[in-house]
Structure 1
Amino acid sequence: MANIFNTKLSNEQATVAFGAAIAASCFARTTLYLHGDLGAGKTTFSRGFIQFFGHSGQVKSPTYTLVESYQLFAWQIYHFDLYRLDNPEELEFIGIRDYFTPDALCLVEWPEKGKDLLPEPDLNITLKYDGKQRAVQVKTKTHAGYELIERLKWN
């Protein structure tokens, strides 16, 4: 069972398209951890993922609110940005465990700030600068994550 997928994204449109491709492969509750430096494309990826399900408005990073929710089709999509989180215990105050439900697709930026309060991800997605493009590495962490990558239609 291969558990690593690598690709290159040439620009913002490719990053949005990759987010949509991952979304198109989701058929069950899915948790994605998004890793990368500031400006690496985590929110751009999230925009493609969320817009795939029909959201036509702006997708912004929930840096100050910690979470943005989107009810789209049969899914509740939660986009977390934990960058400004000072203490993982703050997640208890927002009821973090209530978000990871059977009908939820969860995108978590800066998951390392949530330490042991977050569930294991199905996929760890790391975006890094590589000149003018982005290098992306996707690591499967669960059987569901592996199946998602097997369904992925990319390049």
Structure 2
Amino acid sequence: MDRSDPLALHLPDARATEALARRLAPRLEPGFVLYLSGDLGAGKTTFVRALLRALGFGGRVKSPSFSLLESYDLSKFRLYHFDFYRFDSGQDWLDAGFEEFIGAPNVAIVEWPERAAGTLPASDLHLFLRFAGDTAGEERIVEAVAGTERGRACLKALAPTDERC
């Protein structure tokens, strides 16, 4: 399937990033794959933390920057949160042996998927988070791109009310 046209969203602060995660949370289902790209500090882990809270996880949410993978047992599925920042190539992904964690019955969220380009399965939804403007303030722009029909349904749910189909 062709990727969708990007949906651009303005997030004025961390609360808006968290609200976006809460809107996406009820649409996750086993097999869902979400990619998160963006500069260091752009809000990828903040987004995942809010998503997990919205899914009912009350424990500590750690960034997998050093461990590469954190897993969370939720009521409807297990969520695997990957961070490939330290990968040098797609071969690192293949050598890590994480393939079994992506796909049903799990949900996978991958930060820095571009570090394993060409070796990862396609995502349902890819969010590109970037700073709005020249400073590292709280304001962000998110571009959301769907890679599947399931991802397209998520785009509709994430669109501002006046843009929903």
2:150 is paired with a residue whose SS is helix
1:68 is paired with a residue whose SS is strand
Is the CA contact 2:123–2:147 (under 8 Å) kept in the aligned structure 1? yes
Matched, 1:30 2:32: yes
Equivalent residues in 2 for 1:91-106, closer than 5 Å: 91-106=93-108
Pick from 114, 136, 147: which aligns with 1:112?
114
Report the aligned-residue RMSD.
1.9
1:142 is matched by which residue type in structure 2? T
Alignment gaps of 5+ in structure 2? none
Equivalent residues in 2 for 1:27-106, closer than 5 Å: 27-106=29-108
TM-score by length of 1: 0.90
Is the CA contact 1:140–1:146 (under 8 Å) kept in the aligned structure 2? yes
Distance 1:152 1:28, change over 3 A: farther
Cα distance in structure 1, aligned partners of 2:7 and 2:89: 32
Give % identity: 35
Residue 101 of structure 1 and its aligned partner are, at CA, apart by: 2.8
Is the CA contact 2:25–2:54 (under 8 Å) kept in the aligned structure 1? yes
Cα distance in structure 2, aligned partners of 1:63 and 1:142: 27
Residue 117 of structure 1 and its aligned partner are, at CA, apart by: 2.1
Is the CA contact 1:3–1:146 (under 8 Å) kept in the aligned structure 2? no
Q: Matched residue pairs, number?
A: 155
Residue 116 of structure 1 and its aligned partner are, at CA, apart by: 2.1
Residue 87 of structure 1 and its aligned partner are, at CA, apart by: 3.7
Cα deviation, 1:57-105, whole Å, max 9, x if unaligned, reads 2222101111100010121101110001134323234322101131211
Query: Which range moves more in the overlay, 20-29 or 140-149?
Result: 20-29
Cα distance in structure 1, aligned partners of 2:150 and 2:96: 27
Is the CA contact 1:74–1:103 (under 8 Å) kept in the aligned structure 2? no
Cα deviation, 1:93-131, whole Å, max 9, x if unaligned, reads 432210113121111110011122211011110111114
Cα deviation, 1:135-155, whole Å, max 9, x if unaligned, reads 111011111111222344755
Distance 1:3 1:104, change over 3 A: farther
Consecutive aligned runs of 4 or more in structure 1 exceeding 6 Å deviation: none
Alignment gaps of 5+ in structure 1? none
Query: Which range moves more in the overlay, 78-87 or 32-41?
Result: 78-87
TM-score by length of 2: 0.85
Distance 1:57 1:25, change over 3 A: same
2:131 is matched by which residue type in structure 1? Y
Is the CA contact 2:29–2:107 (under 8 Å) kept in the aligned structure 1? no
